Amino acid sequence: MNKVQLNKDLLEWFRASKRQLPWRETSDPFKIWMSEVMLQQTQVKTVIPYYNHFVRKYPTIDAIANAEEVSLLKDWEGLGYYNRIRNFHFATKEVQAKYNSIVPEEPHEFQSLRGVGPYIEGAVMSIAFNHKIAAVDGNVMRVYSRLHRYGEDISKQKTVKSIKRDIETWMSDDAGDFNEAMMELGATICTPRAPKCILCPLKSHCESFEHNDVLNYPVKAKQKPKKDTVYNVFIIQNQDGDFYLVEQTEDLLKGMYEFPKYDVDTSMDNIEDELNIEFTSQPTYLSQVKHVFTHKTWILEAYMIHTNETSEHFKSIDKIQKLPMSKGMQKVLALLEV
């Protein structure tokens, strides 16, 4: 395989055919970094409006670093994987304190920041500063595996590291364009189920295309089926028309707000004791909603119930709409038809 010609064919295709995306219109390392954080495990079309909103509201490192976490979570609401914005927030504070609010150009300094793993390091350092560091995501692993008929399991970290090491031995000196081109090829041409091989600029280099077994690659262990977990969710309204909310403390949705949820076998007495309130009605069933995570699904059975209690946990609808909530809880909120 002629890697010099491969690089030439790939970059010519990319420069002629690349999608017009807002983060490709900037050379600001901060905005490039922010876009890559958003793009992790999230589709481009989903990210675009969030990126545009964040660039307008938080145009600098300092704007993110000085923001309240609850505001960032609210603006991130619906994008999911909320640890991304928490880590990014923390990392911008690190940049503010250690590097005078300038994204460090040295890879070892950038890699030391919270939430910066090998992929983010490769993408930002190559696109912003042209360091020859491969950015290996699912798209890149798929392209690489098909090019080389590479049979190792890409779900294993040792495979990811091996692919990264090999790519870095032959990737173009135009490292940023190379990384973007590999990702673009995987996203638009070398797709998982219906690759457009006839349009591929690398088909003359591709071993799996030559052997007519493109769909056999990449090799990946089957994922375990998603686990369903059922909760009862209680929309608790007091006489003032306010609703009881709790702030999440667990890592998955830390800092998000939700209506109280409980295992389906939790008694109403136990719920009253835990929340330190007394209900004045029996629960009325509203509907079921689902919230799908990467490896599990929440099935939320929503109930309305009333109380005469007041406390700081009770919020008006106006205040609730300004607080960050998961998609699942937004669906529960929508049952109120507010």
At residue 254 the predicted structure's pLDDT band, cuts being 50, 70 and 90, is confident
* Burial zone of 200 (CB within 10 Å; 0-12 exposed, 13-18 middle, 19+ buried): buried
Compute the distance between CA of residue 219 and CA of residue 44 in angstroms, rounded to an integer: 24
Residue 252, H or E segment: none
pTM value? Answer: 0.83
Compute the distance between CA of residue 118 and CA of residue 126 in angstroms, rounded to an integer: 12
Does position 225 have pLDDT exceeding 90, yes or no? Answer: no
Question: Is 222 within a domain?
Answer: no
Question: Is 10 within a domain?
Answer: yes
Q: Are 71 and 159 in contact (CB under 8 A)?
A: no
Are 199 and 294 members of one domain?
Answer: no
Does position 329 have pLDDT exceeding 80, yes or no? Answer: yes
At residue 70 the predicted structure's pLDDT band, cuts being 50, 70 and 90, is very high
What value does the mean pLDDT take over residues 141-164? 96
Active site residue 36: yes
Does position 151 have pLDDT exceeding 80, yes or no? Answer: yes
CATH number of the domain to which 144 belongs: 1.10.340.30
Residue pLDDT, tens place only, 30-53: 999 999 999 998 899 999 999 999
Are 155 and 79 members of one domain?
Answer: yes
Question: Is 326 within a domain?
Answer: yes
Are 65 and 188 members of one domain?
Answer: yes
| pLDDT score, position 255 | 87
Joined together, the tokens standing for residue 282 give: 């029996």
At residue 323 the predicted structure's pLDDT band, cuts being 50, 70 and 90, is very high
Are 43 and 87 members of one domain?
Answer: yes
Question: Is 96 within a domain?
Answer: yes
Residue pLDDT, tens place only, 111-125: 999 999 999 999 999
Instruction: Look at 2-6, 26-30, 39-43, 256-260 and tell me which has the smallest mean pLDDT.
Output: 39-43
| pLDDT score, position 148 | 98
Are 92 and 176 members of one domain?
Answer: yes
List, in sequence order, every beta strand (DSSP E) within the chain.
227-237, 243-244, 246-247, 257-258, 261-263, 284-292, 296-306, 314-315
Are 79 and 143 members of one domain?
Answer: yes
Are 69 and 12 members of one domain?
Answer: yes
| pLDDT score, position 18 | 96
Question: Is 196 within a domain?
Answer: yes
Question: Is 238 within a domain?
Answer: yes
| pLDDT score, position 221 | 86
What value does the mean pLDDT take over residues 74-94? 94
Are 246 and 135 members of one domain?
Answer: no
Structural domain count of the chain:
2
Compute the distance between CA of residue 141 and CA of residue 310 in angstroms, rounded to an integer: 55
Does position 338 have pLDDT exceeding 70, yes or no? Answer: no
Residue pLDDT, tens place only, 265-309: 899 999 999 999 999 999 999 999 998 877 788 899 999 999 999
| pLDDT score, position 2 | 93
What value does the mean pLDDT take over residues 310-335? 92
- SS3 at position 292: strand
Residue pLDDT, tens place only, 165-198: 999 999 999 999 999 999 999 999 999 999 999 9
Q: Each residue of 207-240: b (16+ CB within 10 Å) or e?
A: bbbeeeebeebbebeeeeeeeeeebbbbbbbbee
Are 185 and 257 members of one domain?
Answer: no
Given 12, 25, 36, 309, the catalytic residue = 36
Are 122 and 183 members of one domain?
Answer: yes
Compute the distance between CA of residue 104 and CA of residue 160 in angstroms, rounded to an integer: 25
Given 216, 249, 281, which residue is the final one in a domain?
216
| pLDDT score, position 275 | 94
Question: Is 221 within a domain?
Answer: no
Given 182, 216, 250, which residue is the final one in a domain?
216
| pLDDT score, position 337 | 72
Residue pLDDT, tens place only, 203-214: 999 999 999 999
Identify the domain containing residue 25 by its residue range: 3-216
Helical ranges in 100-248 per DSSP H? 107-111, 118-129, 138-148, 157-170, 175-188, 207-210
The residue written with tokens 């990702």 in the block is 183
Q: How many CA atoms lie within 13 Å of 309's alpha carbon, on the beta-carbon side? A: 19
Q: What is the mean pLDDT of the chain?
A: 94
| pLDDT score, position 253 | 80
CB neighbours of 67 closer than 8 A, spacing ≥ 6? 58, 89
- SS3 at position 163: helix
Are 150 and 86 members of one domain?
Answer: yes
Helix axes 44-57, 29-39, angle to 10 degrees: 140
Are 160 and 306 members of one domain?
Answer: no
Question: Is 314 within a domain?
Answer: yes
CATH number of the domain to which 271 belongs: 3.90.79.10
